[in-house]
Amino acid sequence: MAIKKKIYIIILAFFLIALCMVLFFIYPALKEIYDKSREFVSEKQKSLIIAKEIEDTEAFKQKYQEYRENLDKIDGLFIDVQNPVEFIKFLENTAEETSVRLEISSPSFLSNVESPLIIFRLSSYGDFLDNLSFIKKLEAGPYLIKIQNLDIGRYQDKLSGKKQTNQTKSVFLINVFAKK
């Protein structure tokens, strides 16, 4: 029985030594290998992404001249905040084309939004269909315009005080997107 006990104690000692070796030597080494391999895969993926971005950038540089015309068109959609004269000329020409009389109030600026806005208050006087044609031409024009409010009513002549039956007055606010 004493020999059996010694054998069990020796087996238990080897088992404990093997367990300690696994816990203190093999497991940390395997964990480090696992962490390093994940880090390696991550770095490899990052390098592939960077290589793809470089390739895309080079392709864009090569096709930039093709894109330039469209980029210039997009740039033309926005009015210049410092000098909106071209846009005001557009409004006046459009009013003249559609046979409406136009009054433009001084613009107000909103710069706390993502892209700056210039808000114009417009009053147009003329035939109902001419006013609608003017509004349609504004929306289809070469600038990014959003009509905010629109009030249409009969036009009352200030001198005579009489309402003109075929004349309407349209008052509206338009938001025009501008360049920063």
Provide the pLDDT confidence category of residue 54 given band limits of 50, 70 and 90.
very high
What mean pLDDT do residues 97-112 have?
83
Do both 94 and 71 map to the same domain?
no
Do both 91 and 22 map to the same domain?
no
Query: 56-68 as b/e, with b when 16 or more CB fall inside 10 Å?
Result: eeeeeeeeeeeee
Domain range for 155 is: 79-179
Do both 27 and 93 map to the same domain?
no
Do both 70 and 91 map to the same domain?
no
Q: Measured on CA atoms in the order 159, 163, 166, 172, is the torsion positive or negative?
A: positive
Residue keyed to tokens 């031409």: 137
Q: How many domains does the chain have?
A: 2
- Domain harbouring 165, CATH code: 3.30.70.60
- Among residues 56, 76, 96, which one ends one of the domains? 76
Pairing of strands 108-110, 145-156: unpaired
What mean pLDDT do residues 126-138 have?
89
The answer to whether residue 81 scores a pLDDT higher than 70 is yes
Tokens of 176: 């025009």
- Among residues 76, 91, 116, which one ends one of the domains? 76
- Among residues 76, 99, 129, which one ends one of the domains? 76
Supply the pTM of this predicted model. Answer: 0.60
What pLDDT does 50 receive?
A: 93
Do both 61 and 86 map to the same domain?
no
Tokens of 6: 């010694």
The answer to whether residue 25 scores a pLDDT higher than 90 is no
